[in-house]
Chains A and B, each alone.
Chain A
Amino acid sequence: MKAKDLMIPLQDYLKPENTLKEAVNLLLTAKRGEEKVGVKGLPVLDKNGTLMGMLSMGDILKAVFPSYMSMMDLGEFTWDGMVESMAKKVSGKKVEALMTEPVVTVDEDASLMECVDHMIKKNVKRLPVLDGSGRVVGMIYERDVFSAITKAMLDENDGGAK
């Protein structure tokens, strides 16, 4: 199986100039096929369709986490409502300031194992799939790889039961 056989064709994506508020809204309502299920991360494309970065739930957690908190152990001293007030503070920030870049991508003809290789070694949960001209044509999510694995296992079990 190749990346293009497994990927979900690209539907929803973010623009660099989107605010975080707009971004979380799209993350919540992103479609998977016909269904609105929400996703944990989306690619960021500029107006020419070039991949600029990825914005995931992790990036949004980092956005509300003040940089000074990572420099010292202050977790015990935080107060109620701090996350909420930080969330309000950063809601107007632009996606381009918070997205993760550069992005780990795969070619549409990449093997499934190559996708797994990236997911494990580079610790990513979703991979944009690029066509020959470098355009994003779809996304491979961890759960899609997982479903391919389960399918293979169950097929094998069937074979053994004969």
Chain B
Amino acid sequence: MTQETAAASQPFVMDTAFWTATTIFLLAYAAIISEKIHKTIIAIFGAGLILIFKILQQHEAFHVEEFGIDWNVIFLLISMMVIINLMRPTGVFEYIAVKSAKWGKGEPFRIMVIFAIVTAVLSALLDNVTTVLLITPVTLFIADALEVDPIPYLISCALASNIGGTATLIGDPPNIMIASKAQLDFMAFIYHLAPVVVVMMIAYLFAIKFIWGKKLKTREELKKRIMAMNENEAIKDPVMLKKSLFVLAVVLTGFVFHGVLHFQPATVALFGAGLLLLLSKTHEPHHILAEIEWPTIFFFMGLFIIVGGVVKVGLIKWMSMQILELTQGNMFATSMVVMWFSAFASAIVDNIPYVATMNPLIVDMARQLWPNLSGVQLLQHPDLMPIWWSLALGACLGGNGTAIGSSANVIVVGMSEKAGSKISFMKFMAYGMPLMIMTVLISTIYVWLRYYVMKI
């Protein structure tokens, strides 16, 4: 705590350290956007520069919450990945997919709706990337079976995963990061974000009905291909499946009560990962651990250090002062600026670096507004809460705007190109952008009504 208040009161000067850190930060952003070098390499190298130039001491980068790596985010991500990697071989995801297609009775649009709902729900419980990695192959498969164009299904799943992921703390990386920074618990996200996500999802289903409802057609004999599939054949390891579902239930229960029990979400997830590893009786954790998406994890770690550097030199504080000046301290205006700016920024930039930057910015802003408060009283000031939710809504939903807006979109577009159905940048945007604007508009009305009119 002492470190946090010390940093808050630190006066900043635009000295060499300020410009060095700012240059590293801006170059890293530019390099990430250009996609010439892999983003993980940029993040690691940028973090190296921050340390070499002594913007941050190594101790600050590794052990100080204010400036360094947020281990809560890192361990939450790693643990969830371990759990999912252990679950995958059981066949449960194939089971869910085939079962969904059969619920759809082979009707192309009905299947699209069911897939969108299943994707949204899975994205809320797992992360979006995992969800689309599981849903995209099955979508392509079902489209081949029905001899329909897979592209509408793929775009619809990508968009639904970003909408669904917005609903919970673990659904989307921005939420994981915001929760950790603002010390918000799982139920707070359910209470504040899930209701509006349900509304958005309903609006979204009407929108896809309007766009694709009449265009998707198949023949009766092709529907029989779907109906002939027996989803029970998908289950490869029923014993492990039971263990996995048990652990998943433990973890989800843990998430629901972690606030009350005073556990961090990462504690719950790490316990779950350890428990499932133990129950799996595997003698080779090597494979399971190797399948963790290490590039993503290192991307996070590097970014935390780069952003920590510009937090320390005061760039972020300066940026937060500019926003407050722009909105003249009007909190509704501030939350709207945060939401809409976040949406368009996340459509262009990866929302992970974006939120890594915005999180400390909002904290700095809070310190200027309430200089006498600290800790949870500061982070969860009633007037600040709508800003956190606006950031979450904007950053998560903004990912839908373009093909590169979220990792889920990038994966869907990549997989579909590999399978021979190329989705161009413009084609994705033609559907993604209007639907993004629609969901952000719904969020605008929601935030305004709930926090500024009804004040609940």
Query: What residues make up the interface of A, taking CB atoms closer than 8 Å to B?
Result: 66-69, 71-74, 76-77, 79, 82, 89
Given contacts A72-B94, A76-B230, 16 further A-B contacts (CB under 8 A): A66-B419, A68-B136, A68-B140, A68-B141, A68-B419, A71-B133, A71-B415, A72-B134, A72-B137, A72-B141, A73-B236, A76-B229, A76-B233, A77-B229, A79-B145, A89-B420
CB distance from B106 to the nearest CB of A (A): 12
Interface 0/1 of B160-186, CB less than 8 Å to A: 000000000000000000000000000
Whether B51 sits at the interface, judged by CB under 8 Å, is no
Is B415 a contact partner of A73 (Cβ separation < 8 A)?
Answer: no
- Beta-carbon contact of B418 and A72 below 8 Å: no
Quick one: CB contact mask for B213-239 with A, threshold 8 Å, 1 for yes? 000000000000100111001101000
- Knowing A72-B94, A77-B98 are in contact, say whether A67-B418 is a contact too (CB < 8 A): yes
Residue B138 at the chain A interface, CB threshold 8 Å: yes
Contact partners of B420 in chain A: CB under 8 A: 89
Interface centre among A66, A68, A74, A89, by most B CB within 10 Å? A68
Least Cβ distance of B284 to chain A in Å? 20
Which residues from chain B contact A67 at a C-beta distance below 8 Å?
A: 415, 418-419
Within 8 A of A (CB), among B90-106: 91, 93-94, 97-98
Q: B residues near A, CB below 8 A?
A: 91, 93-94, 97-98, 133-134, 136-138, 140-141, 144-145, 225, 228-230, 233-234, 236, 415, 418-420
Question: A66-B141, A68-B140 are contacts. A79–B225 as well, Cβ < 8 Å?
Answer: yes
In the bound complex, residues from chain A placing their C-beta under 8 Å from that of B98 are 77
The 8 Å CB contact of A77, one of B133, B141, B236, B415, is B141
List A contacts of B137 (CB < 8 A).
68-69, 71-72, 74
B93, B144, B229: which contacts A72 (Cβ < 8 A)? Answer: B93
How many angstroms between the C-alpha atoms of A89 and B143 in the bound complex? Answer: 14
Q: Judging by beta carbons under 8 Å apart, are A73 and B91 in contact?
A: yes
A73 and B234 contact, CB distance less than 8 A: yes
Which residues on A sit within 8 Å (CB–CB) of B144?
66, 82
Q: Which of B134, B138, B228, B234 interacts with A79 by CB under 8 Å?
A: B228
Q: What distance in Å separates the Cβ of A147 from its nearest Cβ neighbour in chain B?
A: 40
Q: Which of A69, A73, A77 has the most CB of B within 10 A?
A: A77
Among the listed A71, A72, A77, A89, which residue makes an inter-chain contact with B233, where contact means beta carbons less than 8 Å apart?
A77
Residues from chain A with a CB closer than 8 A to the CB of B418 are 67
CB distance from A129 to the nearest CB of B (A): 34
Taking CB atoms, residues of chain A closer than 8 Å to B133 are 71
Chain A, residue nearest B236 (CB)? A73
Using Cβ atoms and an 8 Å threshold, which residues of chain B touch A71?
A: 133, 136-137, 415
Asked if B234 and A76 make an inter-chain contact with CB atoms under 8 angstroms apart, the answer reads yes
Q: B94 contacts which chain A residues (CB < 8 A)?
A: 72-74, 77
The closest CB in chain B to the CB of A90 belongs to B420
**Which 5 residue pairs of A and B lie closest in terms of their CB atoms, listed nearest first?**
A68-B137, A71-B137, A68-B140, A76-B233, A77-B229
